[in-house]
Structure 1
Amino acid sequence: MTPDEVIAAWDQPGATASIHPTRGISEGAYWASGEAQAALLAQDIPAGSRVMDFGCGDGRVAIPLRALGYDVTGVDASPNMLAALNRHAPDLATFRSDGSDFGKHLGRRKFDAVYCLAVLIHHSHETGQQLVERLRAVVRKGGILVLDWPVADEPAETNAWIGVTTWSRDQQDQITKRLGLTRLDVDRPWAVYQA
């Protein structure tokens, strides 16, 4: 799918009901899953860091991570998702971006850490690689980049907005080596790199 198709899909009425499997259980389970993911991120991101949540959605992870003492900026391409986040946390810094215009929003500023959860799964390998390159560009040297890009023995690209694109470990290693990223040896549901 193209980035514009993914954004359009997330902006459809009722799309937020599909944002995470726990939402089908209850709102409490949904927000608790964000708290659990924020706690995991806090194990790899130094306390008090300036952090970007790319693809922040309605703030399920950004809000609890900020509550842990991080300086979090939520970034999403969907105006509806950012509006939902702002209803939950009106004072959390946000800006709208698909990743192609970070310079417009940030200038030369960089983050201590960037995480991107449940975003790359919606994009083609080509678009996903472009996003990884752009996210790497806004992480300071020595900073942390967290990427949720699942590995499969037979990588495949999704052709549906709620599908899942998977990668080979070799694809990931080639991209991250070229970008100067070192994979950290941690047991997480996502890959953690140091720039």
Structure 2
Amino acid sequence: MSDTTNCKSENWYASWFDTPYYHILYKDRNYREAQIFMDNLTHYLNLPEKAKVLDLACGKGRHSIYLNQLGYDVMGADLSENSIAEANKNANETLHFVVHDKREPFEDKFDAIFNLFTSFGYFENEEDNLQTLIAIKESLSEYGFAVIDFMNVYTVLENLIPEETKEVDGITFHIKRYESNHFIIKEIDFEADGQKFHFEEKVKAYTLEDFQRMMNEAGIYLLDTFGDYKLKKFHKNTSERLIMIFK
């Protein structure tokens, strides 16, 4: 057995999201719920037919594909080259995928930009997270709207499971969760293919107030907040999610 492959690089997302193990661990995510969320969102935003939509941090593109099936002209963007290579197998005339750093604005302008399932707050440096917000704002068309779907930090911390074990496809994942230095951290240890692996996920524990402060700084207008995928009102002590609509 070799030494543990320790992947606590500064940019944890660059290594972890590019491994097949990330997709194995999370393969049972509820995609039907995600589709209902996108139905509700696109309906709420009243997006025109063939609207240009950006799925920012799209992973393997499952949500981009669904948005495209709803009739939109979709661009999926992600930093992971492996994920984009996988997503590109589904590309068509109105569905495109690119490797992209979300701190950089797009030359194209979009009618809607979706940043879904807590794909924000990865950067150590606050300035980089602010830069991501500014890039989103600058990539919107004149009448466009952006959506960030984030965890509700209050309920996450209230219900944090410090340790658990999950077995998926014959791999036993040992997971630890804790808060440290205003980050929510998940440590993932497992053995696979004759090697021991250690990965970390780190997401800034941003509250609604933190987002409001950053949005003010970025010149962004927060239009609405919701607390779940059915778009019910946000309640800080009980809501599952923090979903923000802004421009």
**TM bracket (short chain):** 0.7 to 0.9
In structure 2, how many angstroms separate the alpha carbons of the residues matched to 1:125 and 1:149? 18
- In the alignment, what sits opposite 1:34? 34
Gap change, CA 1:94 and 1:59, over 3 Å in 2 = same
Q: Deviations over 1:121-168 (max 9, x none)?
A: 544461322212211211123311111233435893144543443212
The question of whether the paired residues in 2 share the 8 Å contact of 1:121 and 1:149 is answered with: no
Larger Rg: 2
The question of whether the paired residues in 2 share the 8 Å contact of 1:75 and 1:97 is answered with: yes
- In the alignment, what sits opposite 2:153? 152
**Which of these residues, 194, 204, 213, is aligned with residue 174 of structure 1?**
213
Structure 1 position 171, deviation (Å): 1.4
Judging by fraction of residues, say which structure has more helix: 1
Gap change, CA 1:3 and 1:42, over 3 Å in 2 = farther
The question of whether the paired residues in 2 share the 8 Å contact of 1:76 and 1:95 is answered with: yes
What is the percentage of aligned positions where both structures have the same residue? 21
Judging by fraction of residues, say which structure has more strand: 2
| Structure 1 unaligned residues grouped into runs of 5+ | none
**Which of these residues, 13, 24, 29, is aligned with residue 6 of structure 1?**
13
| Structure 2 unaligned residues grouped into runs of 5+ | 1-7, 158-178, 187-199, 232-240
1:15 and 2:14 matched? no
- In the alignment, what sits opposite 2:5? none
Gap change, CA 1:34 and 1:193, over 3 Å in 2 = closer
Gap change, CA 1:40 and 1:115, over 3 Å in 2 = same
Matched residue count? 183
- In the alignment, what sits opposite 1:115? 114
1:97 and 2:100 matched? yes
- In the alignment, what sits opposite 2:75? 73
1:141 and 2:142 matched? yes
**TM-score using structure 1 length:** 0.79
For residue 17 of structure 1, give the secondary structure of its aligned residue in structure 2.
helix
The question of whether the paired residues in 1 share the 8 Å contact of 2:122 and 2:203 is answered with: yes
For residue 52 of structure 1, give the secondary structure of its aligned residue in structure 2.
strand
Gap change, CA 1:184 and 1:94, over 3 Å in 2 = same
